[in-house]
Amino acid sequence: MTAARDSSKRRAPRLPTRLDGSLQGRSPRGVRVVDLSLTGCLVQCGALLDEGAILDLEIRLPDPVAAKVRVTSAYLDGSVGPQESPRFLAGLEFLGIPARAEASLRRFLEDERKRRRGADAAAR
């Protein structure tokens, strides 16, 4: 799948981030959320996830967000250097997110976009 095809399938714009989180499945694991939208996210983790797996995700925002997610893609992170341990990326689709968590996520995304627009304008 090409990047052009991936972005055309997205239902919501993604925001690059560096947020800590965790996935709960057979065994809990820490993840880094590297981009985020209202419909899903991309996470970096230490193990390859099974496509189609249903997991519980928690994202550590000021108001933590918990959601049921499905792994839509999983692959080796090509940005890792040869001396580093392998890392993997996984695309996650939000399947179920409580109304309060969705409101928190929406507020975070809106605030972060405003903050970045302000920082871009100040840098000019």
Higher pLDDT, 59 or 25: 59
Higher pLDDT, 115 or 10: 115
Q: How many CB atoms lie within 10 A of CB 123?
A: 6
In this structure, which CATH number among 3.40.50.1820, 1.10.3720.10, 2.40.10.220, 3.30.70.580 belongs to the domain 3-123? 2.40.10.220
pLDDT digits (tens, 9 = 90+) for 44-57: 999 999 999 999 99
Give percent above pLDDT 70 in the chain. 85
pLDDT digits (tens, 9 = 90+) for 4-32: 444 445 567 889 999 999 999 878 899 99
Q: How many CB atoms lie within 10 A of CB 54?
A: 12
Residue 1 has pLDDT above 50, yes or no: no
pLDDT at 119: 65
Q: Where are the domains of the chain?
A: 3-123
Q: Which pTM value belongs to this model?
A: 0.82
Give yes or no for a contact between 101 and 69, defined as CB atoms under 8 angstroms apart: no
Please give the Cα distance from 12 to 27 (Å, whole number). Answer: 30
Query: Which helix (H) or strand (E) element contains residue 30?
Result: strand 29-36
